[in-house]
A = this chain, B = another copy of it.
Amino acid sequence: MAVRSDSVPALAGVFRTYGFDGASLAVISEHTGLGKGSLYNFFPRGKEEMAEAVLDQVGAWFMTEVFDPLRVESVSPAERITAMFDAVAEHFGSGNRICLFGAFALGNERARFGARVQGYFDAWISALTTALECTDDPAGLAEECVSTIQGALVLSRALDDSLVYTRLSGRLRDRLLARMEL
């Protein structure tokens, strides 16, 4: 039997492709394979609740797979940073998939989901700052790192070339690792 959480990955794909406003219930119904009745059974508050569920599930994935590992003291800071870039590249399909939080930050969606968006970026920068404590400017570099990844996703998407993402994130990673050796 289908459960609510099973439909969240499909919902994520729809919101990534169409945005919040562009994702009609007809499109959602088609991509999830669920009728409107089922959708309102799982998400009584409608589309807004669907998007919240997506944001929460993606946010939870980043927490366990990206943010928490950045604070594990038994792993060297350089290895933590390298692992972060690997996990992030995997999640964003090396530039082929956008960041929902970034897209929602730029779009009209920010009005509805601003708190979740802010929480995601705060958590990322905070975790990165911990891993970069061995540098001379942990908070500044963490902010720069998160921002650069978002920029790489924008540019990669704009130029329709995932190599742009790979190139930019590789440069960033190397620059951070160099700063950690000081």
Chain A residues close to B by CB (< 8 Å)? 17-19, 21-22, 98, 101-103, 105-108, 110, 114, 117-118, 120-122, 140, 143-144, 146-155, 157-160, 164, 167-168, 171
Contact = CB atoms under 8 A, between A and B. Distances in A.
Contact of A155 (B17, B19, B21, B143): B143
A122 B152 CA distance: 14
A166 to B, nearest CB: 12
Contacts of A167: 140, 143
B158 A143 contact: no
A165 to B, nearest CB: 9
Contact of A151 (B18, B118, B122, B152): B152
Given A98-B106, A106-B102, A154 B154 contact: yes
B158 A118 contact: yes
A132 B66 CA distance: 35
A159 B118 contact: yes
9 closest cross-chain pairs (CB), A and B: A151-B151, A105-B158, A21-B21, A147-B151, A22-B108, A103-B106, A150-B151, A150-B154, A147-B155
